[in-house]
């Protein structure tokens, strides 16, 4: 039965393991590079702190941001004909933290997805695919994808807004953009994947209950 269950979880199990190893190796190499000063993990240890608003574009006649945005003390605006961006000349701890939070939530989201997916496959291999344990693991993964995608997108957008606010006046993005970013982070893949897992969790749970009733009858 164990061999049969292992074959049942392929090729997803091998694919998950492959990406999990790559993910762990990338984090390890990034951490080592951060320690020796040649790289960063999620912006940690980065010498320069810059943020770009991709929704605002440049123009062809002079500086398109002249008279609209002004750099705060310690910040620098971009050259003409470039998207609106700003860099901190001497970033403080808070700015470095915000810069890191613009990327770290997505890294944590994908790391959690890989871990929960591996947990689901291990449960299916050990206890069989049509059990309440598998259904529970599916529900956890489904809700994690939905909630995690929303939270990660919201944190990243909020960090960008706050970092811009510390560098540029007036801020090009408002706090209201966080809600739009959260919805945008959910649609379409995370919403579909999460809903599919929650649906299959119900199906598996119902099948497990029917199997228990059948065994009780026999």
pLDDT tens for the 218 residues of the chain, in order: 455 556 788 889 999 999 999 999 988 887 776 666 555 555 555 567 888 876 655 444 444 454 577 888 888 887 655 677 888 888 888 888 898 899 899 999 999 999 999 999 999 988 888 899 999 999 999 999 999 999 999 999 999 999 988 898 887 778 888 999 999 999 999 999 999 999 999 999 998 887 777 776 55
Domain presence at residue 38: yes
- Quote the pLDDT of residue 55: 61
Q: Evaluate whether 152 touches 185 at the Cβ level (below 8 Å).
A: yes
Domain presence at residue 68: no
Phi first, then psi, for residue 61 (nearest 5°) are: -110, 95
- Quote the pLDDT of residue 59: 46
Domain presence at residue 158: yes
Domain presence at residue 70: no
pTM of the complete model: 0.82
Domain presence at residue 170: yes
- Which of 205, 107, 195, 184 lies closest to 143 in space, CA to CA? 195
Given CA atoms 91, 94, 95, 100 in this order, what sign does their dihedral have?
Answer: positive
Domain presence at residue 79: no
Domain presence at residue 75: no
Q: Which residue range forms the structural domain that includes residue 153?
A: 2-47+92-217
- Quote the pLDDT of residue 41: 57
- Quote the pLDDT of residue 216: 63
- Quote the pLDDT of residue 108: 94
**How many distinct structural domains can be found in the chain?**
1
Domain presence at residue 77: no
């Amino acid at each position: 039965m164990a061999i049969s269950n292992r074959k049942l979880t392929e090729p997803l199990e091998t694919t998950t393991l492959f990406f999990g190893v790559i993910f762990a190796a990338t984090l390890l190499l990034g951490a080592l590079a951060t320690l020796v000063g040649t790289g960063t993990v999620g912006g940690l240890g980065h010498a320069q702190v810059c943020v770009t608003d991709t929704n605002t574009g440049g123009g062809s006649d002079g500086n398109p941001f002249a008279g609209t945005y002004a750099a705060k003390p310690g910040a620098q605006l971009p050259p003409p004909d470039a998207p609106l961006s700003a860099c901190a000349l001497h970033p403080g701890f808070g700015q470095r933290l915000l810069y890191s939070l613009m990327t770290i939530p997505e890294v944590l989201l994908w790391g959690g997805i890989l871990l929960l997916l591996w947990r689901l496959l291990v449960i299916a291999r050990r206890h069989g695919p049509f059990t309440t344990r598998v259904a529970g693991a599916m529900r956890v993964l489904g809700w994690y994808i939905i909630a995690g995608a929303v939270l990660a997108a919201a944190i990243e957008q909020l960090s960008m807004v706050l970092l811009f606010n510390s560098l540029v006046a007036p801020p090009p993005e408002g706090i209201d953009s966080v809600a739009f970013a959260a919805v945008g982070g959910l649609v379409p893949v995370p919403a579909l994947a999460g809903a599919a897992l929650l649906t299959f969790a119900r199906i598996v749970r119902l099948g497990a209950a029917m199997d228990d009733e059948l065994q009780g009858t026999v």
